[in-house]
């Protein structure tokens, strides 16, 4: 049974540290030169985080999203012309962080989702209206802009290249709406790929967190007072804190903010154009490896960045820009945090040796063209269909290597397609046993009315389903 996931804010708890042992044991570091040190005595434990809080806390805000909802009255009275739908206001509360002095605020997408009006409350209790610049559900990030001109306190974004497990961090937000609260803790893991919805572009900072409602979108800062992540969600069986919380890393925050400030309405995620699978213990043994490492390349998109860089089917990609990758989500995240057109160093293991390849990453291609059509005949009449390209597959969170066919993008109510049970998101693979490769071909296959009717094969939620229609 899968553990429920709750999109609730992330706070961190301080893992108790204490020095013990002789000075020699403390000075020997078996894994390289130390860049951090744990508190060595009780006096060190009493050191204050106040200087870090003074720097970061003024830029952490409350975010309110309001929307007007029409609520129906009793349907019985509607039959007699009575009862007018009533309007009520729904409001969500979360946290946010000012990252630019002109009032650009980053928060979680689930905090503002569905909102029609937005308000930001500063640490000094000023209430200011804001507008939504960009919402990106896949990263669960959203960017707002405070309407009132002025210079606001900010927290600089740190892309986190030097973060280590065990680093002290502070989480700042507004739990339960009680007001700004600061907690401290450590980074308990890096590059976690657990995420609500199963997105393949996620890679998170994990903290040992006390999680409470209202902190979503709050700041996770390091001991320099820099923003290393936006607190997003937890894994919990009960919906309360269990010490396993996750934050969107600063590198992805920076990409989303850059897109929003630049006027973009959607985040363009570069891709490598490689179909990969995690290297399991069994695969590692079959390849003669001493341990599971990297991702195995199962396919390369013709003419894509990986193909041009020299990546081949059967290669094992072990790292991107010096960061180890061990699953598809980790690889996609490392590539997605690059800007389109930038070059990434991809280390591959091939025939027992490691080679570094230079890949110029770019947005997934939008070919074939969508060629959107509304089907007029057959069991799919009333369905709007489009050709599936890597760009569209990426937008929908689908796998471009396995998503073959024509995508149903919409279904008109009371149409033949609706009556037949077809839904937006279905992928039409075949009609009467013939593979469907384009919207034009689908339209032609459905226009002919065979004596025995139509046999339509679709893919829904990863499962192939075939139905008979007359």
Of 110, 158, 167, 315, the catalytic one is 110
How many CA atoms does the CB half-sphere of 443 hold within 13 Å?
A: 15
Q: Is 136 a catalytic residue?
A: no
Question: Among positive and negative, which fits the CA dihedral 434, 435, 441, 445?
Answer: positive
Of 136, 140, 222, 394, the catalytic one is 140
Q: Is 216 a catalytic residue?
A: yes
Of 95, 188, 203, 216, the catalytic one is 216
In angstroms, rounded to a whole number, what is the distance separating the alpha carbons of residues 335 and 343? 10
Distances (CA, A) of 26 to 44, 93, 165: 16, 46, 18
Distances (CA, A) of 158 to 45, 219, 223, 253, 402: 26, 12, 11, 9, 36
In angstroms, rounded to a whole number, what is the distance separating the alpha carbons of residues 119 and 291? 52
Longest dimension (CA), the chain: 88
Q: Is 41 a catalytic residue?
A: no
N-to-C CA span, the chain: 40
Closest CA to 203 of 327, 108, 330: 330
Closest CA to 119 of 146, 98, 101: 146
Q: Hey, which residues does 233 pair with through a beta bridge?
A: 246
Q: What are phi and psi for residue 252, nearest 5 degrees?
A: -75, -35
Active site residues: 110, 140, 216
């Amino acid at each position: 049974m899968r553990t429920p996931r709750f999109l609730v804010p992330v706070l961190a708890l301080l893992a108790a540290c204490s020095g013990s042992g002789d000075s020699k044991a403390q000075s020997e570091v078996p894994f390289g030169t130390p860049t951090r040190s744990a508190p060595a005595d009780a006096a060190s434990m009493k050191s204050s985080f106040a200087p870090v809080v003074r720097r970061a806390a003024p830029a952490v805000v409350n975010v309110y999203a309001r929307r007007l909802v029409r609520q129906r009255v009793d349907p019985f009275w509607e039959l007699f012309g009575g009862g007018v739908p009533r309007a009520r206001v729904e409001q969500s509360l979360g946290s946010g962080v000012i990252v630019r002095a002109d009032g650009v605020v980053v928060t979680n997408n689930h905090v503002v989702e569905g909102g029609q009006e937005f308000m930001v409350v500063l640490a000094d209790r000023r209430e200011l209206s804001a507008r939504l610049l960009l919402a990106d559900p896949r990263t669960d990030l959203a960017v707002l802009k405070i309407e009132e001109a002025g210079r606001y306190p900010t927290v600089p974004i740190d892309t986190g290249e030097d973060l280590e497990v065990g680093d002290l961090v502070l989480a700042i937000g507004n739990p339960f709406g009680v007001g700004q609260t600061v907690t401290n803790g450590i980074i308990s893991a890096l590059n976690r790929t657990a995420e609500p919805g199963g997105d393949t572009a996620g890679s998170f900072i994990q903290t040992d967190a006390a999680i409470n409602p209202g902190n979503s979108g709050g700041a996770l800062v390091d001991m320099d007072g820099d923003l290393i992540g936006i607190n997003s969600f937890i894994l919990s069986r009960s919906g309360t804190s269990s010490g396993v919380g996750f934050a969107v890393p600063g590198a992805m925050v920076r990409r989303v903010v850059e897109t929003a400030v630049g006027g973009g309405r959607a985040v363009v995620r570069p891709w490598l154009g490689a179909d990969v699978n995690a290297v399991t213990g069994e695969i590692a043994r079959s390849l003669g490896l001493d341990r599971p490492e990297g991702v195995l390349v199962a396919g390369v998109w013709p003419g894509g960045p990986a193909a041009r860089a020299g990546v081949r089917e059967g290669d094992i990609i072990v790292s991107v820009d010096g960061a180890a990758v061990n699953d598809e989500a980790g690889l996609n995240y490392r590539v997605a945090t690059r800007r389109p057109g930038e070059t990434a160093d991809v280390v591959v293991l091939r025939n027992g040796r490691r080679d570094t390849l230079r890949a110029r990453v770019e947005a997934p291609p939008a070919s074939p063209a969508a060629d959107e059509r509304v089907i007029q005949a057959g069991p799919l009449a009333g369905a709007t269909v489009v050709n599936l390209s890597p760009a569209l597959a990426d937008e929908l969170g689908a796998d471009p290597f396995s998503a073959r066919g024509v995508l149903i993008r919409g279904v008109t109510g009371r149409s033949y397609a609706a009556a037949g049970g077809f839904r937006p998101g279905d992928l039409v693979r075949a009609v009467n046993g013939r593979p469907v490769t384009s919207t034009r071909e689908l339209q032609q296959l459905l226009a002919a009315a065979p004596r025995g009717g139509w046999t339509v094969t679709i893919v829904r939620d990863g499962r192939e389903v075939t139905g008979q229609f007359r």
